[in-house]
Amino acid sequence: MPTRLPTFLENPPSAIGKRAPDGHPAPLRTSVPVYYWETQEARLKTLLTAFFLTSLIAVAADIRRDEAKKPLVLESQGSFFVGGETKTVNAPTPNGGTVESSITINQMYVQYQTPPGGEKHVPVAMVHGCCLSS
């Protein structure tokens, strides 16, 4: 018993709706144009490429998630001030008097973290303002 072809191969788009000549039991079959198969092949290649890329992205995300579980390791960290001028001012008090006090102005507060092997090029990130980045 011969194997039956799938419907879309048995009746390609160009043959659908055409009637068989008188005396023929089956619908008229015509050859499928080459461009039809080229189009189907292009669609299949696109579908397989999309599936492959989606799988690749999923695997890469899984590997990246495992890497993110590693702890942050620092060689050193700390903070310091750079520059600045000390000014003496007479500050008012609640009872109406003044108190001589000093204030430091025009300085830069620096926080740093150095990764292991940080003696190589280390990127520098600067944020303006004191204590705004903590």
Q: Give me the tens of pLDDT residue by residue for the chain, a chain 134 residues long.
A: 555 655 555 555 555 555 666 666 665 555 667 677 788 888 999 999 999 999 988 888 877 776 667 788 888 899 888 888 999 988 888 888 888 888 888 888 888 888 887 777 767 777 776 665 54
Q: Residue 27 carries which DSSP code?
A: -
Q: Which runs of E-coded beta strand occur in the chain?
A: 76-92, 98-114
Q: Is residue 2 part of a domain?
A: no
Q: Are residues 61 and 85 in the same domain?
A: no
Identify the domain containing residue 18 by its residue range: 7-68
The reported pTM is 0.38
Q: Residue 101 carries which DSSP code?
A: E
Q: Residue 40 carries which DSSP code?
A: H
Q: Are residues 80 and 128 in the same domain?
A: yes
- What is the number of structural domains in the chain? 2
Q: Are residues 56 and 83 in the same domain?
A: no
Dihedral of CA atoms 73, 74, 75, 81 in degrees, nearest 10, equals: 180
